[in-house]
Structure 1
Amino acid sequence: MSDTNLPRVAFLGLGRMGAPMARHVLAAGYDLAVWNRTRDKAEPLGRDGAQVADTPARAAAGRQVVVLMLATPDAVGEVLFDPDHGVVATAEPGTLVIDSSTIGPTASREIAAQLGGHDLHYVDAPVYGSVAPATEGTLRVFAGGDPADFERARPLLGLWGDPDKVDLVGPVGTGSAAKLVVNLTLGTSIAAIGEALRLGRVLDLEQSLVDSLIEASPLGAAFPPIRAIMDSGKPQPANFELGLLRKDLDLCLAEAGDLALTAAAREACQRAMAAGHGSDDARALAVLMAGLL
């Protein structure tokens, strides 16, 4: 049963990350409405007590907080601003929008300005971590926004994020900026490991030796999930899809332009996607680059 002292919440976007995040909201006693473009992903939450809405507008009606966990800036824009079915069609003045999507700081600032024109508040609060920490409620959260809006958002952010790692890093857009910095290091480190593996093969080193060298290198902490893919000989279930990594590297390049390593990693992603690996786990990129998959 929901707690009537808590704000009523809508959660929009129930993919691999969004579904476990929304489940924390439901488990904490919030009155929760959910929406997903593919309705069947919302049904498990509906069976457990959430209200399943047909449109973002219906999910947002009468809610004090709307949470977004979507894939791209375009998806966020459509869900918020579609004149008939978007959040702004029904959201009451003063509603807080928490955007946990990774869309970049420029899009976050533009969206905040548009929402402000409708008397709606906005916090960009992307998360760092994969499905397991989302399920455990131990994600890291980078938030950007007005401090008062952040304090409104904090109780929810602390449901899917480790409360000690839920940080207001600055005004609107800075949360999204921080997430891009983190994902740039992820993409370039995966590509660097791929090239190291390939170099070891070209130089005819034993694979076990190459593996031990990478494990002892500055990139050693990033190697275990790549090693698991190598050992299995096939892509593992995707915690973070290669196509989403490419999208995030695109955002980095759009924001900063002259990022040579990022551009190279982005092109490696694009080649892997053209070969049909866009839905594989992003770490499979290293194994593909090395010719080991």
Structure 2
Amino acid sequence: MPARPVIVRLTADMRSESRRLRVAFLGLGRMGTPMARHVLKAGHDLTVWNRTRGKADALAADGATVAPMPAAAARGRDVVVLMLADPEAVEQVLLGPDGVASGAEPDTLVVDGSTIGPDASRRMATRLREHRLRYVDAPVYGSVGPATEGTLGVLAGGEEADVAAARPLLELWGDPEKVRHVGPVGAGSAAKLVRNLTLGLALAGIGDALRLAATLDLPPDVVGELIAAGPLGAAFPPVRQILASGPPEAAGFTVDMLTKDLRLCLAAEPRLPLVDAARKVGEAAHAAGHGQDDTRALPRWMRDAS
């Protein structure tokens, strides 16, 4: 019978670049793939898993090991990173048959970069503690460009020692100045929802402004100047670029992703009438075939929708 792997408890003093971590990265979508590449580039031992095998094979060409299931990916790892679509996917990958909990050794640190909401994050932490696993919720903000550049923002929730232990990895895909420990488990997910709530409202507000301006026959250059100089100006430059040149071929943060986050906001607090209105806009865009469009294109769709 083969010897069980020796697992070294990951602690905050393991920040040295010479410390080679054994990392599993589960979920290789638009964001997960460039994030995982940073782990490889830093010289860590990386095992990957993805529901669609082809995305994992692309990283294997760069030196990653591909695991057939989450349990196998987590076995013998110091850290398991998740970057998945929603709470249901996270629960299945962590706790389902052949999930992380059935393969990871005690004291393995689970770092969840998914946006699943604070209640789900706290539930995952509780369930993982039953398996003697540690958990940090560390959702990211930014899109594919910052993920590729390693300049994402990271909002981490968890025990201080666990967040400190995760920081060497978080700072691979996140700008160190924007990697923040915001509170206990669940606080990272809560902070991410608050941030994306403001994004959803800003984009919906710009869309309404563009539609009203078009109805009133205002010149586009005047409208652009007014919005850029107003309260929603910070969200307008990428929208203006899409108005001029059309949506990017590859969406960074999709309308469906934003709509999912707005639903999570409403699940946490139903008394958010503006968020509910923005959620309905996202669902209408999805119904019209624009759910996989970049969120920056949402105001243009609102302007032009019949």
Which of the five TM-score ranges fits, normalised by the shorter chain? Answer: over 0.9
**Is the counterpart of residue 29 in structure 1 residue 43 in structure 2?**
yes
Q: Select between 42-51 and 235-244 the one with higher mean Cα deviation.
A: 235-244
Please give the residue correspondences for 1:197-216 in structure 2 after superposition, counting only pairs within 5 Å.
197-216=210-229
CA distance in 2, matches of 1:283, 1:268: 14
Aligned to 2:196: 183
Give 1:292 shift.
7.1
1:91 corresponds, among 97, 104, 108, to 104
What does the per-residue CA deviation read over 1:62-89, in whole Å, with 9 as the maximum and x for residues that have no partner?
A: 1111000001000000000112x21111
What does the per-residue CA deviation read over 1:243-291, in whole Å, with 9 as the maximum and x for residues that have no partner?
A: 0000000000000111111100000000010011111101211111111
**Is the counterpart of residue 289 in structure 1 residue 293 in structure 2?**
no
CA distance in 2, matches of 1:235, 1:4: 39
CA distance in 2, matches of 1:192, 1:37: 36
CA contact 2:254–2:291 (8 Å) conserved in 1: yes
CA distance in 2, matches of 1:163, 1:252: 27
| Identity in percent | 63
**Is the counterpart of residue 251 in structure 1 residue 264 in structure 2?**
yes
Aligned to 2:120: 107
Q: Select between 187-196 and 155-164 the one with higher mean Cα deviation.
A: 155-164
**Is the counterpart of residue 9 in structure 1 residue 18 in structure 2?**
no
**Is the counterpart of residue 147 in structure 1 residue 177 in structure 2?**
no
What does the per-residue CA deviation read over 1:151-195, in whole Å, with 9 as the maximum and x for residues that have no partner?
A: 110111011111121111110000000000000000110000000
1:172 corresponds, among 185, 188, 198, to 185
Structure 2 unpaired stretches of 5+:
1-16
1:220 corresponds, among 230, 233, 242, to 233
**Is the counterpart of residue 19 in structure 1 residue 33 in structure 2?**
yes
Give the secondary-structure state (helix, strand or coil) at the position aligned to 2:93.
helix
CA distance in 1, matches of 2:183, 2:74: 27
**Is the counterpart of residue 77 in structure 1 residue 85 in structure 2?**
no
Give the secondary-structure state (helix, strand or coil) at the position aligned to 2:250.
coil
Q: Select between 52-61 and 68-77 the one with higher mean Cα deviation.
A: 52-61
Q: Select between 147-156 and 225-234 the one with higher mean Cα deviation.
A: 225-234
Q: Select between 53-62 and 242-251 the one with higher mean Cα deviation.
A: 53-62
Give the secondary-structure state (helix, strand or coil) at the position aligned to 1:240.
coil
CA distance in 1, matches of 2:73, 2:200: 35
CA contact 2:23–2:79 (8 Å) conserved in 1: yes
Structure 1 unpaired stretches of 5+:
none
CA contact 2:247–2:294 (8 Å) conserved in 1: no
Query: How many pairs are equivalent?
Result: 290
Runs of 4+ in 1 over 2 A off after TM superposition: 3-7, 232-237
Q: TM-score, normalised by structure 1?
A: 0.96
1:265 corresponds, among 278, 282, 285, to 278
CA contact 1:229–1:236 (8 Å) conserved in 2: no
CA contact 1:230–1:292 (8 Å) conserved in 2: no
Q: 1:6 is aligned with what amino acid?
A: R
CA distance in 2, matches of 1:273, 1:292: 12
1:48 corresponds, among 30, 54, 62, to 62
CA contact 1:195–1:289 (8 Å) conserved in 2: yes
CA distance in 2, matches of 1:195, 1:185: 15
CA distance in 1, matches of 2:250, 2:215: 29
Q: TM-score, normalised by structure 2?
A: 0.92
Give the secondary-structure state (helix, strand or coil) at the position aligned to 1:244.
helix
CA distance in 2, matches of 1:237, 1:259: 31
